[in-house]
Structure 1
Amino acid sequence: MTTEHEGPGNLVILANFVSPLAVDLTEETVLRQWAEQAPRKLWLTRPGDVLITPTPLSQSFQRYVFHRLGIPEESVDIITVPDTPNLPMATALTEHNLLDPLRTLVNSRPTARLLPTALDEAAAALASDLRIPVVPYETGVPRPGTLRAADAMNTKSGFRAVAQTLGLRLPQGRTCTGAELQQVTSALLACHQQVVLKTDRSAGGHGLHFVSRGDSPPQLPPPSPDSRWVVEEYVEHTRAVSAQGHVSATRVEVAYDGEMRMSGGSFAGYCSPLQDLPEKTREELTQWTLALGSHLAAEGYRGPYSLDAVSTHDGTLHALECNVRRTATTTAHAMVTRLTGGRRAAWSTGTATALVPKSFDEAVNHLADAGLDFQPGDSEGVLFYADRPPDCRIWRYAALAPTHNRLTELEVRLAAALGHGEI
């Protein structure tokens, strides 16, 4: 698989969690929550790279990451972009007079390349302004038609339209406007016990509303008449799964797959690789992911994407959405692959709750005391792959082990180490 650092030069890693690709920029609260995860991008760095982040990184976290990566402290330049409502992060650089300092750093790295989290128009414009290519585009910067295609595929309606042409099995549903939402919801509830209302541009479970037959009307803010929605039947399922694909100039491949851990319809963690799924179901997920990648390749897209689906009790697969960007799992997978030297490993992400607030160093010490703290050369352990959380209690972690059974043991021990009984 193509890696982030394949090819010459340093990376300018743009942690643009504030992007219109996933949700509308007016959704300030959820964008701010997502931006808190930006420190995890430090795991992608190598000496000489530049990280652009919307969230400051603590010195403790930087020391922690650099030690485990085996690179010198202060070998990565970090630019922090202040919170800027309603502006894509790439545009906010200019708003805060940070473009010229960034240009100076780039000019001292003649083969630098931009690695954005989300390939939006602002990120492409930034690359053009800096005169550097976007990873992994062999021609430098994706053409406007490719950007439009990626933008459309990150909507629920855009995905459904393409999925239908590719023959993917979808929940029964309809695309509609805000003015039509109540009528369409009622029509689908006449056929299905429960439906899901999805704002057209949403991610991570944000913007989903579950409505059952006989419920009172859902308590939603009145949608604007011209807003876009998708209403689908709720598919009773036993597993929520995803596969991560990658498109290069020469091939489309599935990099990894796994099970999504969900909480109230929202993404809460991941476990890879998939296990205990019927082989036929897993193969279908693979084939669907490759078909989607071939479509993206024809549009000129290069890079990562994911396909999310659910599996019913008999193994029937239903595709739900795709994410044409770096996702919540790509950095964790890259981190695990790098720390294990590419050895096969089971890995997971999630959150663990501490009984009392802890500083970053205190939390790491608890891992060390419990024999869980991953160190260079280890084959298993736990890592805090983001910085200290705002409440100092709900810690984002990644765990890795040779087997799934051993992985489960580590996660149970992690909960105990932080003084809380559950993950």
Structure 2
Amino acid sequence: MEQPRGPLIVYANFFSDVAVDLSAHQVLLAWARQARRKIWLMRPGDVLLTPVPLSPEFTRYACDLLGVPAPTLTVITVPVTAGVPMAESLDRAGLTDTVRALGAERPGARLLPLALDSSTVELAARLGLPVAPYGPEGVPPWAVEAVYRLNTKKGFRAAAAELGIRTAPGCVCDAQELVRTVSTMLHRYGEVVVKPDRSAGGHGLRFVSGAHSDWAASLASPGAHPKGDWVVEQRLPDARSVSVQMEALPSGPRALFTGEMHTVAGSYAGYVSPLDRATDIAAQELHHWGAALGRYLSAHGYAGPYGIDALLASDGTLYATESNVRRTATTTPHAMVDRLCARAGVTPSAWLLGRRRSRLPLTFADALHLVQAEGLAWTPDRGEGVVLFADSPDDERSWQYAVIGADAGSTAKMQAALAGVMRFESE
């Protein structure tokens, strides 16, 4: 049974300066499509503030699977303005008073943001709402500072050194030193990864090899890289991208799940949870690091979700690469898996997320019909299956899905069947 809780105003503030600079508007627009999946967090009486609309078909589908009557939910689409946080877009659209009234109508309501940024704390104060999961005492300013700092590569590397967390061999430099630093690192390692200090989802990431003579010109050309700090790390060939997701609580850090990321050119393309048995030692180390970071965050007043991304090298050595002190691309799907399994009365054992392109365009109704007709769709009675958790893609081809099963073998088998049914392109 789901535990009762007060009403939430789910604030999908993808237009935040926590993960990337607000000037990267096109990147933020692409990420904002994930806002539709926040419906999986909602319960009767909740409100969703989203920068992109949800289709009626997807809303009915999600509500049916959750057992939540659709009319009990309120969804407000916020038109966004380039270069400003979502809180300012809410003001410019004249929606702040509407949200304030919705909060006042819901005793005990709290604002649940995607990322805890300074504009969200100010918005919550103007709305007269506490920020979840904080209490009436509010969000300490040093917690917000910790969020900004630990969502940078430089900030995480500094905290990791203090906490005894092994990081990938590398160093921090500013834009003026970037070419010289990359040259030094290439001489030492042969291949490096170049990352903007504040970035996420592979944005701005570059792989540089000493075998290519034009790398320096590409980095030094006007507009090739913005001002600010950069991190240059050794590229670890054949490394596996793994992560642990956790929650900072007053009682101490709590592990939520581990998994392995599937990436294409450094960008997230899927996820498999939990880590397989071959990575048991790495999983233990990830949990140890996650607990250490959680205690650090709690000491700085932070409460809520966070995670550590790492690379498992071919020799079995684990290297942490970054922390994400916010909800990530896997946090909400994991919450969805937990809710669906609880409703079905089964224990969540294995699940995966995928992102694939169909050879032909499909509407949401088309895709759902194919999945149901093949007997692959999740139902509470079945307790396993495919969930189209992200709504119909804008191009009707770039589908995201989850597969929930009893073990990794069953989820992989269902994913293979789904690829055939939806005629996915080869990876």
TM bracket (short chain): over 0.9
After superposition, give the CA deviation of every residue in 1:15-40 in whole Å (9 maximum; x if it has no partner): 11111000111111111110011100
State how 1:4-43 maps to structure 2 within 5 Å: 8-43=5-40
Aligned residues: 420
After superposition, give the CA deviation of every residue in 1:145-193 in whole Å (9 maximum; x if it has no partner): 1101110000010000001111111122111111111111111111111
Q: CA deviation at 1:56?
A: 0.6
State how 1:326-345 maps to structure 2 within 5 Å: 326-341=327-342, 343-345=347-349
Q: CA distance change for structure 1 residues 140 and 368 in 2, over 3 Å: closer, same or farther? A: farther
Q: Say if 2:358 and 2:425, in contact at 8 Å, map to a contact too.
A: no
In the alignment, which residue of structure 2 is the partner of 1:356? 360
In the alignment, which residue of structure 2 is the partner of 1:305? 306
1:86 partner SS = coil
State how 1:69-218 maps to structure 2 within 5 Å: 69-215=66-212, 216-217=214-215
Q: CA deviation at 1:6?
A: 6.1
Identity between Structure 1 and Structure 2 (%): 43
In the alignment, structure 1 residue 285 sits paired with structure 2 residue 282 = no
Matched letter for residue 296 of structure 2: H
- Which range moved further: 245-254 or 276-285? 276-285
State how 1:320-399 maps to structure 2 within 5 Å: 320-341=321-342, 343-399=347-403
Matched letter for residue 154 of structure 1: N
Q: CA deviation at 1:398?
A: 0.7
Q: Say if 1:179 and 1:225, in contact at 8 Å, map to a contact too.
A: no
Q: Find the aligned partners of 1:418 and 1:240 in 2 and give their Cα distance.
A: 27
Q: Find the aligned partners of 2:304 and 2:3 in 1 and give their Cα distance.
A: 12
Give the 4+ runs in structure 1 shifted more than 6 A.
none
Q: TM-score scaled by structure 1?
A: 0.96
Q: Say if 1:114 and 1:135, in contact at 8 Å, map to a contact too.
A: yes
Q: Find the aligned partners of 2:233 and 2:424 in 1 and give their Cα distance.
A: 37
Q: Say if 2:209 and 2:215, in contact at 8 Å, map to a contact too.
A: no
Q: Say if 1:177 and 1:226, in contact at 8 Å, map to a contact too.
A: yes
2:188 partner SS = coil
Q: Say if 2:359 and 2:425, in contact at 8 Å, map to a contact too.
A: no
1:37 partner SS = helix
Q: Say if 2:252 and 2:294, in contact at 8 Å, map to a contact too.
A: no
Within the candidate set 408, 412, 415, 1:411 is matched to: 415
Q: CA distance change for structure 1 residues 7 and 154 in 2, over 3 Å: closer, same or farther? A: farther
Q: CA deviation at 1:379?
A: 1.3
1:348 partner SS = strand
Matched letter for residue 259 of structure 1: E
1:190 partner SS = helix
2:62 partner SS = helix
Q: CA deviation at 1:203?
A: 0.4
CA RMSD across the alignment = 1.7
In the alignment, structure 1 residue 246 sits paired with structure 2 residue 247 = yes
Q: Which runs of 5 or more structure 1 residues have no equivalent in the other structure?
A: none
Matched letter for residue 305 of structure 2: P
Q: CA deviation at 1:353?
A: 2.0
Q: Find the aligned partners of 1:108 and 1:51 in 2 and give their Cα distance.
A: 15
Q: Find the aligned partners of 2:11 and 2:137 in 1 and give their Cα distance.
A: 16
Q: TM-score scaled by structure 2?
A: 0.95
Q: Say if 1:113 and 1:132, in contact at 8 Å, map to a contact too.
A: yes
Q: Find the aligned partners of 2:389 and 2:8 in 1 and give their Cα distance.
A: 20
Q: CA deviation at 1:344?
A: 2.8
- Which range moved further: 155-164 or 339-348? 339-348
Within the candidate set 49, 54, 58, 1:52 is matched to: 49
Matched letter for residue 234 of structure 1: R
Q: Find the aligned partners of 1:278 and 1:57 in 2 and give their Cα distance.
A: 38
Q: Say if 1:8 and 1:111, in contact at 8 Å, map to a contact too.
A: no
After superposition, give the CA deviation of every residue in 1:105-128 in whole Å (9 maximum; x if it has no partner): 111012101110011111111111
Q: CA distance change for structure 1 residues 126 and 140 in 2, over 3 Å: closer, same or farther? A: farther
Q: CA distance change for structure 1 residues 376 and 344 in 2, over 3 Å: closer, same or farther? A: closer
Q: CA deviation at 1:277?
A: 2.8
Matched letter for residue 360 of structure 1: F
Matched letter for residue 323 of structure 1: N
Q: CA deviation at 1:387?
A: 1.2
Matched letter for residue 16 of structure 1: N
1:231 partner SS = strand
After superposition, give the CA deviation of every residue in 1:65-120 in whole Å (9 maximum; x if it has no partner): 11111111221111101131011112210011010111111110121011100111
In the alignment, which residue of structure 2 is the partner of 1:231? 232
Q: CA deviation at 1:139?
A: 4.2
Q: CA deviation at 1:45?
A: 0.4
Q: Say if 1:340 and 1:377, in contact at 8 Å, map to a contact too.
A: no
